[in-house]
Structure 1
Amino acid sequence: MSITRRSLLQGALALGSALALGACGAGEKDAGSSSGGASSRLTVRERSADPIARAKATRVDAVGDLGRTKAFDLHCDTVDVLGMHDWEPYRSWPAIARQGDLAKSDGEVDLDRAQGLAYAQGFAVWVPDKKWVTDPLGFYTAAVTYFKQQMQTHADRVEQVTDARDIPGVLKAGKVAALLTVESCSALETSLDVVNTMRKDGVKMAGLTWNGDNALGGGRSTHDGLTELGVKAVARLEDAKIAVDAAHLSTESFDDLVKCRKRPFLISHCASRAVCDVDRNVTDDQFKAVLDSGGVVGVSYCTEFITKRTTGTDVTFDELMAHFEHFLDLGGKDSVCLGGDFDGASVPDWLRGVDKLQDFYQKMCERLGQEQTDKVFFQNAYAFMVRNEVA
């Protein structure tokens, strides 16, 4: 049975279409595509110095039919569970590890399972809290090394994306588009210059904390806010165009982030507290704050965040969809995404593995319609990441 790390270790935005009215006249330019050659066109107004206003004024066209179901999931823990067996907490709790590699494993995300999808995935480096890891920079470096090795070993099937505008080209080539992300920036405690290392490594988003506290601030199990170093870290990450991820923040840290952020931010994996009242889920006001910044929110499949009806994995489609639908009702049609938390959480039996996403897509289409489902499954996350490149 798949169970959450937490259990084991303890035991918006609308896209601003009105701003893109008519032909692109004075004060606008075609943002073009990166050297990798993306098929989508972007229109960016240059009249505002505010990156949030620029992001909201940036139109990102939908990626066309690729002959396969398109899916963009913001968060999985596959890198750690496959590559960090020699580090804590995996040495003490081997049950949370997976066997195999990125091509084929006994986990939930691998390249074999992704066949048939046009698939983009945020691969997180989860840096555990300090009670398990005394060298967070060393942990980060080892995990990134493993990720890079997997990219090289399986280069015919997967490619790291360092500019989101390259995603359509990677998918058209039949490869998985892999985005490197970070869950807990405790590696920055030694120096904020580590942000430069993350940028060079191609990190595209980064969460400040995990559940506990670190030098940057308090996580969900605390009542601490951001520290002075944490506020400075937000600025450095934003300057590097590494999107700040508010997943796992305490309420106090979240409020501090809203006050100090200058760019759109996101929550990569969470659910609605109005639907299931657990502290890891986000309130309606927090969700709206992300949308106000121009950000997106990924809905997690973690069963303990979806319902209190059961502690098992017999969570129903309707129970999971209640979270998507609640966020959509709050105005999230252009902001709700997939944030599955594969390989890091207990997920419903019928959704255990990336190969189950095609059936999930069909069921969501029946519930929400294909246009909205395409946004949730791919376009909203893709558009956010592209806007973060150009705004």
Structure 2
Amino acid sequence: MSYPVFDLHCDTATMLAFQNMPAELAASAGMLGQGEPPAAPDLPKPPVAADLAAGGFQLTANKIGATPWAQCFACFIPDSFEPAGAAALWEHVSCCLDRELARHGDRFSGVRSAAGIRPALAEGRIAAVRTIENARLFAHDIELVHACAERGLLMASLSWNAPGPLASGHDAPERGLTATGREALRRMEEERVILDVSHLNDVCFDEVARLAERPFVASHSNARAVCGHKRNLTDAQFAEIRDRGGIVGLNYADLFVVDDPAAMPPTFDDLSRHIEHWLDLGGERVLALGSDFDGCDPVPDIASADKMPAFQEHLEQRFGAEVTEALCGGNALAFFERFGR
């Protein structure tokens, strides 16, 4: 049996856009050269001559196959981009995604609201959901919150790893939200753009928990009690998301699954420990998937989208049909339909 998938995060659209990055945009961010990603130790280079239908990406239509699939395509904005450059990058990634969705319209449906996800799945097409990772462009012009929402943005995070103009990531543990970040949070809630707290440091998370009036999600974060990386969620943070009615996406990145992936590659059993821990915390309706495809080195058992059928078989054997359905897509779809635009 194939369970519908709703994956809360991948970097595939941005990796695609990096292949034809305008030279002036690349230079403005200190990138290595036209078409190359910024210098960052945890950012892979895009595969050559790939597209959303086929090629070298971890996530393509061919690799998804017949599995019903909704995919959040993040516009990932590296910390090297100033807010104005971030706005230009959002435009570039969005246009590249638009062209690719039109080119492969038989396989993809670009949805502009949460209400469009289920019909796309019913038509047998991949529902493409727009998100932003590190929405520092909102510091350039706060009205971009509305403009991006009108273009179909359904979810956004306020930071990546470093201190930013809105919030700070896990590499800056002592800084909270900026005044602009607090305004961005308010405007996002007005527009019903879902807040993603993955990458926020603990101080920022606590401030968001005090200020947010709507449920929020961690699109691709694991359990810190299982793997101690500070990108992962503490039990208290998971409980905060749970009690608000939010969801948490399981990240396949090996460095967020086990403490030392270089010593021994993680396995399905290692991923399962995160699921089991969250189930122990009462997270049956919180569990979701947040692969981080094309932005990480994933666990070999789920190294690309074509591994999903076998992965679902393992999940069903370990956790049963009800948990597998909820984890793979049911919880995320219900959340977006209730709280999304």
Report the TM-score when normalising by structure 2.
0.91
Matched AA of 1:76: C
2:61 to 111, 125, 150: 111
Q: Distance in 1 between matches of 2:324 and 2:141?
A: 42
Partner of 2:124: 174
How many Å apart are 1:77 and its aligned residue? 0.3
Matched AA of 2:223: S
Partner of 1:259: 210
Q: Distance in 2 between matches of 1:104 and 1:161?
A: 21
Q: Aligned to 1:120, what secondary structure does the other structure show?
A: strand
Partner of 2:133: 183
CA RMSD of aligned residues (A): 1.8
How many Å apart are 1:209 and its aligned residue? 0.4
Alpha carbons 1:271, 1:305 under 8 Å: kept? yes
Point out the more displaced range, 94-103 or 69-78.
94-103
Structure 1 residues 119-151: Cα deviation after superposition (integer angstroms, max 9, x where no partner): 111110000003688711111111111111111
Q: Aligned to 1:130, what secondary structure does the other structure show?
A: coil
Matched AA of 1:172: A
How many Å apart are 1:68 and its aligned residue? 4.1
How many Å apart are 1:198 and its aligned residue? 0.9
Q: Distance in 2 between matches of 1:92 and 1:285?
A: 34
How many Å apart are 1:389 and its aligned residue? 3.5
Q: Distance in 2 between matches of 1:91 and 1:321?
A: 32
1:165 to 115, 123, 128: 115
State how 1:229-378 maps to structure 2 within 5 Å: 229-311=180-262, 314-378=265-329
Query: Given the superposition, is the C-alpha separation of residues 313 and 136 from structure 1 closer, same or farther in structure 2, using an over 3 Å criterion?
Result: farther
Matched AA of 1:276: C
How many Å apart are 1:386 and its aligned residue? 0.5
Q: Aligned to 1:265, what secondary structure does the other structure show?
A: coil
Q: Aligned to 1:346, what secondary structure does the other structure show?
A: coil
Partner of 2:149: 199
Q: Distance in 2 between matches of 1:134 and 1:170?
A: 34
Query: Given the superposition, is the C-alpha separation of residues 236 and 312 from structure 1 closer, same or farther in structure 2, using an over 3 Å criterion?
Result: farther
Query: Given the superposition, is the C-alpha separation of residues 127 and 309 from structure 1 closer, same or farther in structure 2, using an over 3 Å criterion?
Result: closer
Q: Distance in 2 between matches of 1:218 and 1:302?
A: 21
Q: Distance in 1 between matches of 2:338 and 2:119?
A: 17
Q: Distance in 1 between matches of 2:84 and 2:245?
A: 35
Partner of 1:38: none
State how 1:95-106 maps to structure 2 within 5 Å: 96-99=45-48, 100-106=50-56
Partner of 2:86: 136
Q: Distance in 2 between matches of 1:92 and 1:209?
A: 16
Structure 1 residues 244-278: Cα deviation after superposition (integer angstroms, max 9, x where no partner): 00000011111110011011100000110000111
Q: Distance in 2 between matches of 1:221 and 1:263?
A: 26
How many Å apart are 1:213 and its aligned residue? 1.5
Structure 1 residues 41-79: Cα deviation after superposition (integer angstroms, max 9, x where no partner): xxxxxxxxxxxxxxxxxxxxxxxxxx7431111000001
Q: Distance in 2 between matches of 1:362 and 1:256?
A: 39
Alpha carbons 1:313, 1:349 under 8 Å: kept? no
Q: Distance in 2 between matches of 1:266 and 1:318?
A: 24
1:146 to 93, 96, 101: 96
Alpha carbons 2:194, 2:340 under 8 Å: kept? no
Contiguous gaps of at least 5 residues in structure 1:
1-66
Matched AA of 2:46: A
Query: Given the superposition, is the C-alpha separation of residues 151 and 288 from structure 1 closer, same or farther in structure 2, using an over 3 Å criterion?
Result: same
Q: Distance in 1 between matches of 2:242 and 2:158?
A: 19
Matched AA of 2:185: V
Query: Given the superposition, is the C-alpha separation of residues 164 and 143 from structure 1 closer, same or farther in structure 2, using an over 3 Å criterion?
Result: same
Q: Percent identity?
A: 31
Q: Number of residue pairs matched?
A: 324
State how 1:47-86 maps to structure 2 within 5 Å: 68-85=2-19, 86=21
State how 1:14-93 maps to structure 2 within 5 Å: 68-85=2-19, 86=21, 87=26, 88=31, 90-91=36-37
Q: Aligned to 2:64, what secondary structure does the other structure show?
A: coil
Alpha carbons 2:5, 2:68 under 8 Å: kept? yes
How many Å apart are 1:320 and its aligned residue? 0.7
Partner of 1:127: 77
How many Å apart are 1:91 and its aligned residue? 4.8
Q: Distance in 1 between matches of 2:140 and 2:84?
A: 12
Q: Distance in 1 between matches of 2:302 and 2:193?
A: 30
